[in-house]
Structure 1
């Protein structure tokens, strides 16, 4: 804590009040900002051999040139847009803090929540070496005490702040983040030591929980088969810089991640992370949910409710499309995903259960597809030697075949929900997702039961005999379990039945955006609103399919404008294929006459995709299997 002189006060504009009477009023960097029950520090430092005045308060580090009058930097249109987006993201945090912070345009502001390491030393190189040292489990616990004990070192003249910064100058992708270093030089070791202690204390008292121990799964076979190299080159240095003890497991077989998460002790870890594609992410999420169900002593196939996993999940994209990471981060950049992980930034994500009459088969995190997507997933299995090209090859073949599949879809609609009728994109501090989160907090159980899949409930969805046209709709009152839909909304929920010949049936839990498709298959789908978007693409001609692909891949495209595409927002849907009119056939998710077999192979040894009448279900890039171990 430093007291200000009258000469120092004259170099500032504005004022700041502090509860401690020993602190003076500082003008210029802050404007009408009140710091409650927190000391501030103000000193002169050298940054890149230029003299700066640096101020530390409870939430920010602010530095401003002290020798010349700072001029406002001319920003491009893209930089102004990105900076405006950053300001909106900080509004929610400022409301929680209770302070409306305003800084002078000539000031550089760093939020302490973006800082993940503080080091000091006699030289810049010493600061970097200290930051890159490898931690073990014991040193993490005692690191703060050790650094505090030797905080006053007569040789320390440099203080280095390691933080994350958004790349706002990027012309195409302003969602990427990078690691930056702010080096402060002062010839007084006492000042360096005090600033180091102040910054460390603020980081330790941050409301956002930082990770100490992390369990990392690396899938070396998925996607581009570069997961191990990606982790070593891009992720590991940042994780070490943040002082996180990471235990890595390189997977060797399918479902190994799921088996480890179900059977091993996870108490030593603060979070789990995977380096791989969407299939690896889905396997990790499924394993954590199965583990939570088992820990609550429930039947995994027919649980009374689905508990929330006890550990947060980190996602490092290293797959073919990486739609989950792209939808969460707005980019598939590996460094950005790692930065979000080490900073403890979290975002809620809906998870769907896939069931038949016997119970839950698995959980879906991104997309379920029948028809085109199912054919691509099933047929690409025998071309795994082609790597990521196998999806392009089988995708083109299935696209040119232009197969249609007759099916009947039962979906649950809430016709009285005005919010669902407004097309809004999901963003940081999304009001729609936040509203659903608040409702879930008040609910007794955060999930659903199996009642909606039993015979008595399905029979209420059958249409009348004269409903034989493919586009006819039939609605009936909702009689499902109140655990599926909140009791205050049951009266407005109705089942709707849609029949037809479909090129593709897709249940999108997220936008499914990726580098090739920036808006995804459903650009208005939200991450945590409790709904999924059911996209029905009717079978037409090849030209319309091309129109669909163009609208999906273009930044300004919107498939909702296509006449052969229907999108419904629903909490639940069931599916029946042609020649499957009896309710007992619901033991198969794909609705065929034969139950689903592992890896898309039926009980008679014939591939499911060999039939011209039935397709396969693609769930998170994998063909749905009939059972779990």
Structure 2
């Protein structure tokens, strides 16, 4: 579409009267906003941004193809308004139509409010971050008005940057093993409504998604997604990033040269990706959207709005191990990940069983960490508190986050980032001790079981890792920690045995009886699984045996389909209360 066509669409103004649910309404479109209100009252005014409109359809003949109607489980069903079934294409004779249907998505801000013609169900939507699809049918006896509205809105929707051809991987073995059923019940009808051409690949083995992403021709797709848990999503974005790195160094690989990774200049993959949660905890989806609601995550994919997501890497002296999106954890969570596979027959319950077992064992591990400090322009050299997170001054990551929206060339203090030519200019903070758990959080790691997560103030796109260090102590201390993680109130950093740091890079070394000294004068031997002295790393649910590692944050390395969560407390307070 030419620039002139875009300008013409931006200047479009539509105003006509329609019948909606047997009542007369004024319907108005301008400045990317669709508004309808009763002709004799302004109290029923509804305003929808065009970016939240999914599709515009003519009604279909009763004997036409089986496209899902609003009575499908993916929609809010109501028999009163949408007796007209929806047609996804406009191949029928326009002369016969005296109505058209607008399908749009909306947050469940107030579950008690019923939209006119929206087909809202009587069931309340408890999470305000959940989205639902609504539909409204507009009637007018003038067929030319119907055609003008339908064609104009369709052109505007087609001009938006949305996935038209999507590659979707489905892992039928993860979590509750219901990814295929979720696709058929929810994803397929929504993709059909949005006119998204979906190519589905069902994975049959671990790391198959990674291999396929590396091998597939992706030029024909403008979006890629997966249905599964955090491990499935990890396979997907690791494949995308590795693919990008190999393409960037194709000339070196053709000459049989080793792939040398410049960790400061890893390029962002060209294709955005999304996730349809079907795992056990679905931490990544929860942090991205504020919910693990399947319909919500699908809606964000079809609406096509994207943001950058931080991805961190874990590596050794030998090279890169992998990238992760949620957390890499040593100690308690590492021990759980290592033993989990032995209890897969328990399903998601295995996490509770193995977790309780490891809490009772209460192992502690001697470690040493070296945290990269901020440049001198941001924190004085030698300042011991330069990496400490002050939660009183921190803000949580919500939709349109001002911190994550800063350009990549600026840090959180609005000052330009200093480019460093060598490690000699980098200043490090040394931390040693015996720890029950060491977590390097790339996101808050919140989920339905832990609403606040390890670090509630960890942002999704600011380029920082939050290190959560839990000192080894008593069994009672560990129980207090886990109860606080499961609570909606407070956070674990309130406890004196929990330390929270923020950094862009850190070195880690496990200290044990077989290896003494510091990071600078010895190399930790690789052990097979946890021992009395060493643990393993839990990297997005996968086990990493290497103990001595380097972890780096790569700001907004991945482009994902998401709108972002909203502040539930602010919404609740804005509603106010009535004591009448």
TM category (shorter chain) comes to 0.7 to 0.9
* Kept after mapping to 1: 8 A contact 2:373/2:427: yes
Matched, 1:254 2:206: yes
Which residue of structure 2 aligns with residue 176 of structure 1?
Answer: 130
Q: Distance in 1 between matches of 2:259 and 2:398?
A: 34
Matched, 1:542 2:475: yes
Q: Distance in 2 between matches of 1:541 and 1:331?
A: 34
Q: Within 5 Å, which residues of 2 pair with 1:257-406? A: 257-297=209-249, 302-304=260-262, 305-406=265-366
Most deviating of 381-390 and 532-541: 381-390
* Kept after mapping to 1: 8 A contact 2:310/2:461: yes
Shift of 1:505: 0.3
Shift of 1:365: 0.9
Q: Distance in 2 between matches of 1:301 and 1:411?
A: 27
Which residue of structure 1 aligns with residue 557 of structure 2?
Answer: none
Distance 1:185 1:540, change over 3 A: same
Pick from 613, 616, 619: which aligns with 2:533?
Answer: 613
* Kept after mapping to 1: 8 A contact 2:537/2:546: no
- Paired residue secondary structure (2:478): helix
- Give the number of the structure whose alpha-carbon radius of gyration is greater: 1
Shift of 1:413: 2.3
User: What whole-Å deviation, never above 9, does each CA across 1:461-502 have from its counterpart, x for those lacking one?
Assistant: xxxxxxxxxxxxxxxxxxx982699xxxx97x6311111110
Pick from 40, 52, 64: which aligns with 1:114?
Answer: 52
Which residue of structure 2 aligns with residue 202 of structure 1?
Answer: 156
Distance 1:517 1:323, change over 3 A: same
Q: Distance in 2 between matches of 1:390 and 1:190?
A: 62
- Paired residue secondary structure (2:184): helix
Distance 1:551 1:413, change over 3 A: farther
Matched, 1:482 2:455: no
Shift of 1:383: 1.2
Distance 1:243 1:613, change over 3 A: same
Shift of 1:130: 8.9
Shift of 1:582: 5.8
* Kept after mapping to 1: 8 A contact 2:67/2:192: no
Which residue of structure 2 aligns with residue 167 of structure 1?
Answer: 108
- Paired residue secondary structure (2:450): coil
Q: Distance in 2 between matches of 1:567 and 1:275?
A: 33
Which residue of structure 1 aligns with residue 405 of structure 2?
Answer: 434
Which residue of structure 2 aligns with residue 240 of structure 1?
Answer: 192
Q: Distance in 2 between matches of 1:52 and 1:127?
A: 31
- Paired residue secondary structure (2:493): helix
Q: Distance in 2 between matches of 1:55 and 1:326?
A: 36
Shift of 1:184: 0.3
Q: Within 5 Å, which residues of 2 pair with 1:150-165? A: 153-165=94-106
Matched, 1:49 2:1: no
Q: Distance in 2 between matches of 1:483 and 1:373?
A: 36
Unaligned stretches of 5+ in structure 1? 1-34, 72-105, 133-145, 441-445, 447-479, 597-601, 603-607
CA-based RMSD = 3.0
Which residue of structure 1 aligns with residue 559 of structure 2?
Answer: none
Shift of 1:154: 2.0
Q: Distance in 1 between matches of 2:429 and 2:516?
A: 17
Output the TM-score relative to the length of structure 1.
0.72
Shift of 1:56: 1.7
Q: Within 5 Å, which residues of 2 pair with 1:564-583? A: 564-579=497-512, 580-581=515-516
- Paired residue secondary structure (2:355): helix
User: What whole-Å deviation, never above 9, does each CA across 1:289-309 have from its counterpart, x for those lacking one?
Assistant: 110011011678631331111
Which residue of structure 1 aligns with residue 369 of structure 2?
Answer: 409
Distance 1:40 1:401, change over 3 A: same
User: What whole-Å deviation, never above 9, does each CA across 1:392-433 have from its counterpart, x for those lacking one?
Assistant: 111110011111011111111227359975311011111111
- Paired residue secondary structure (1:308): coil
Q: Distance in 1 between matches of 2:521 and 2:65?
A: 63
Count of aligned positions: 485
Pick from 69, 72, 81: which aligns with 2:41?
Answer: 69
Q: Distance in 1 between matches of 2:313 and 2:421?
A: 14
Q: Distance in 2 between matches of 1:586 and 1:375?
A: 27
Unaligned stretches of 5+ in structure 2? 1-7, 71-88, 112-124, 380-385, 412-416, 548-580
Shift of 1:436: 4.8
Output the TM-score relative to the length of structure 2.
0.78
Which residue of structure 1 aligns with residue 141 of structure 2?
Answer: 187
Distance 1:586 1:198, change over 3 A: farther
User: What whole-Å deviation, never above 9, does each CA across 1:55-90 have from its counterpart, x for those lacking one?
Assistant: 122411111111x3344xxxxxxxxxxxxxxxxxxx
Which residue of structure 2 aligns with residue 510 of structure 1?
Answer: 443
User: What whole-Å deviation, never above 9, does each CA across 1:164-186 have from its counterpart, x for those lacking one?
Assistant: 11111247410000111011011
Shift of 1:110: 1.2
Which residue of structure 2 aligns with residue 466 of structure 1?
Answer: none
Shift of 1:152: 6.9
* Kept after mapping to 1: 8 A contact 2:191/2:198: yes
Which residue of structure 2 aligns with residue 218 of structure 1?
Answer: 170
Shift of 1:53: 1.0
Shift of 1:131: 7.7
